[in-house]
Chain A
């Protein structure tokens, strides 16, 4: 059995140095569309019309991106004529629409955070990305973040999926079973506004319809580093973006 020990040592340290250093390895994040200035409003309109979920709105020469609705279909990225710019970063956590401030967890939780993950109808990608946080590349244990098997010992409720009707009650029970102080994190476009599934008989259309959400992570799916950024933002080690500051900056 000792060969497992040496085998593990052979591979050296693969862990990213985020959050101390920005991680720029290839393939770590799909990137995100950013508000782009076009030569004419017709091009901006054409760019906006590529988006199937209405995440891009054209205003004069600008194609403004509402990242919370983006589902990473990349249709806006590739047409040669009116492609929207994409930025390869991953720090996208934002507060829900209408809330501009966020109350972080007290300082005692900074390096000891327990997260309860609930799959409320997720397609599997967001859940898979959250699972990658335990692999040697990201290794959230070094940051003091742990995934709890029970809500009784959890501080953060991380919800993925648009909250299907069959999972509504278990999700509410999980939230009720968590002791105060607690925060709710909605990860993925489905958890924010239902994604491609929207609101229907079987889907509540996002976690906000069911629980009070503190932070949201856009993306379909958000890469592991984006989820990690959100978990750090819960305790104040990182700052969430306010809503659409991209638009503000471009102006």
Chain B
């Protein structure tokens, strides 16, 4: 029985907040429903604890901005079915020490490490700062590339290497050793992630991922560019969810400019988002079948994925749906024969997917490799704020399309897939269920497609900041944009689902057999490049 989170009573929440914490509530910053400005820094962990544990909000992320005069730290929380709450802290620029909230909200761990690496902020009592984005063996200690004073356009001639660097190993046993996997992917074609699998010979006791080999500092490069160029960056830093990212970015810009997207554009955006989700999930399913070496099923899933890629190309001109979103709507319209073709292509893909799922559920050797493997239980899922299909397979029922509807999602009926076991097979079932729902949504939206303009003009010469969000195939994605005078981007922040889920990955890989490692990786279906940005 899927569980549904309770709607938060806002009035009560405001009352409690004002009673217990020295803060001021203010009107919504565009996109969020409430901004809580905390005046006393020391209460920050307690306030976050209150919102996360007692009120049942989920943690959205941390946004750090360096203004001319002060730091602004925004802790985002999502009150389910209600909206975003941001907790705002303002600090003078000289003060760079902030109390860490990671003891209360474990899901904030990596956000604080990221802020420390990129901005140089120190979080007191954080268990491990450093060696995160800027790997210790390459970078000196006090490099903070996201500070305004840092010139990011200069390349480093030859990276400085710290030859004495040793990895931090956790297992203390006389015969323990760590097997390094990566960063150059060891199995053929894959993303650059580095793991140290610590073991005493049989079971792997602990696997720690080191990411950010694909870190391109997209958020920093975007500063000073106009919206059109930043849109290019937003859709191209993680291409397999590019439509969702561009959608989130455009929603943020539309919020700043105060425009409402026409309904045909909203419906078509929904269609294209679901097309991307369907294609992404089929790709993940193909990856899972490949990791268990069931070659025929992997080939069949790959066939379906290629069909969807070709369908995307035929209607939009690009296999990954690049270049379609613009602030205000879509760049161009789709004719009826194109949308009709899309429906038939989707139906065909779903039929084949049904057959594949049925075949797989009868293959016991395949299921044996997925069941009870890489379990993330419900408590860990809540603790570490798992998002996306992975989170929904561990009993979490959060889906931005339902909790915080955007675009045309409030007009259509769909189910949020949910499973309880949290193992590989549960994640596979969630992927299949969501794929069917996506197909369903595409059909519904195209059948009820309204005529009308495909975009509205968006006057970009505005300043302000806003939040845009979307449920990407991997999970909840948040983009925060601040525009300055002249429509230049002053701060661009992309909080991605892969970042959240990679942070939680270590809880699925403790005490497992080495052969299960690629399978656990495949069932999570995470993207290192989306996490790295």
Contacts and interface: CB of A to CB of B under 8 A. Distances in A.
Interface residues of B, number: 72
A132 B303 contact: no
A135 interface: yes
Interface string A178-212: 00000000000000000111111111110001000
A30 B313 contact: yes
B240 to A, nearest CB: 5
B215 A26 contact: no
Given A123-B239, A202-B215, A7 B296 contact: yes
B328 to A, nearest CB: 15
B210 to A, nearest CB: 10
Given A72-B323, A128-B240, A137-B303, A168 B159 contact: yes
Contacts of B523: none
Interface string B127-164: 00000000100100000010000011111100101000
Contacts of A209: 155
B184 interface: yes
Given A8-B296, A31-B317, A196 B310 contact: no
Contacts of B322: 72-74, 125, 220
B357 interface: no
B188 interface: yes
A121 B530 contact: no
Contact of B317 (A77, A134, A166): A77
Contact of A164 (B213, B240, B310, B312): B213
Mostly, the A contact residues are loop
Interface string B276-297: 0000000100000000001011
A57 to B, nearest CB: 19
B126 interface: no
Given A167-B183, A220-B322, A223-B319, A132 B214 contact: no
Nearest to A173: B184
Given A125-B239, A132-B302, A119 B217 contact: no
Contacts of B192: 118-121, 167, 170
A19 interface: no
B312 A169 contact: no
Interface in B435-465: none
B191 A14 contact: no
A200 B221 contact: yes
A198 B221 contact: yes
A196 B189 CA distance: 23
A166 B138 contact: yes
Given A3-B359, A123-B237, A137-B306, A197 B138 contact: no
B226 to A, nearest CB: 10
A74 B317 CA distance: 8
Interface string B240-253: 10100000000000
A124 interface: yes
B187 interface: yes
Given A196-B233, A201-B145, A124 B302 contact: no
Interface residues of A, number: 74
Nearest to B211: A166
B236 interface: yes
Given A4-B294, A117-B188, A28 B240 contact: no
A8 B300 contact: yes
Contacts of B332: 78
A72 B161 CA distance: 37
Interface string A15-38: 000000000011111110000000
Interface in A202-250: 202-205, 209, 220-221, 223
A165 B155 CA distance: 9
A162 B216 contact: yes
A135 B392 CA distance: 29
Interface in A71-85: 71-75, 77-78
Given A74-B317, A136-B299, A204-B155, A220 B236 contact: yes
B216 A119 contact: no
A198 to B, nearest CB: 7
Given A27-B319, A127-B189, A221-B239, A199 B303 contact: no
Give 10 nearest A-B pairs by CB, closest first: A27-B310, A125-B239, A135-B302, A27-B313, A123-B239, A202-B217, A4-B296, A27-B314, A73-B323, A8-B296
24 contacts: A3-B362, A8-B296, A27-B313, A28-B313, A29-B313, A31-B317, A119-B191, A119-B192, A121-B214, A121-B215, A127-B190, A130-B189, A135-B302, A135-B303, A135-B305, A136-B299, A166-B214, A167-B214, A169-B159, A171-B184, A196-B233, A200-B152, A202-B216, A223-B319
Given A147-B189, A167-B192, A221-B320, 4 more contacts: A5-B296, A122-B191, A195-B236, A199-B153
Interface of B: 135, 138, 145, 151-156, 159, 161, 183-192, 212-218, 220-221, 228-229, 232-233, 236-240, 242, 283, 294, 296-297, 299-300, 302-303, 305-306, 309-314, 317-320, 322-323, 331-332, 355, 359, 362-363, 365, 527, 529-530
